Amino acid sequence: MSFWEQQRVVVTGGAGFLGGRVVEMLRERGCREVFTPRSKECDLRDRQAIRQLFETTQPTMIIHLAAVVGGIGANREHPGKFFYENAIMGIELIEQARLFRLPKIVVAGTICAYPKFTPVPFKEIDLWNGYPEETNAPYGLAKKMCMVQLQAYRQEYGLNGVFLLPVNLYGPRDNFDPASSHVIPALIKKCIDARESGAQHIECWGTGTATREFLYVDDCAEGLILAAERYNKSEPVNLGAGQEISIKSLVELIVKLTNFRGEIRWDASKPDGQPRRCLDTTRAEREFGFRARTPFEDGLRQTIAWYEQWKRSS
């Protein structure tokens, strides 16, 4: 039997943007028993609900992707909610994994855990060299505490916990709600709405000088699955594409790909967020053979095409 045919895997957040692709790929690899608890059925903030989940599914592995997330605006509006809910989900899930003697747990962290002024490209050894960017620090630190807990539990209890740091994701089925979406879906929606309404301009936050790195959702799902299968160490691992782009260049590219003909206006009173983001992905390639394969413009085209089709059919 293959590795995955022998596993019973719980994917928290398995109905979400990234989780949906992870579940599909696990099944493609022969995993017959994949469980995707929904928040209505299993509140991951509730210790008893997690115990019930373990007893019902009897997992050999958990891939923890559930999170309360959003863009800069949502992080500024809900710092307490983002900290508490992300921290408590991770803490309770990891504790119950220990008590259940789970063979392995894989936890997805966030690029927001890095210090605001991390040298580029971000290396995992730099995680503790400063405080995160203020607008998303509560979320980033909540996720970072999961890494601390996993390392402590490995040291004291022998729990095989793996912590991964995916960069900003994008792709088909992303969240396009302007109240909570991240930058790529927000810009795609903004450009298409402006194009269809005949608007003469779009407005973008900040100055456009900040840089970001983006990872196509299929590539991230592949990285998570490779780590789940092959990686069994305490050190955190970056998952990224290893390339950065300025927000200004990103906006101009999305404007071109969506055929919006109007003007771009920048609102410098709004925050840029972290000045630069780009990951060193050497460890992921060395430890479990992961390398992102989707060219950025190809991924954007697929994301735009999916959104346009979804919009027509909804």
Q: Which residues are catalytic?
A: 139
Spatial separation of the C-alpha atoms in residues 44 and 81, rounded to whole Å: 14
Q: Are 188 and 304 in contact (CB under 8 A)?
A: yes
Q: Phi, psi at residue 107, to the nearest 5°?
A: -120, 130
The C-alpha angle with vertex 274 and arms to 268 and 277, in degrees rounded to 5, equals 125
Spatial separation of the C-alpha atoms in residues 56 and 305, rounded to whole Å: 40
Joined tokens for residue 207: 């100055």
Q: Are 244 and 301 in contact (CB under 8 A)?
A: no
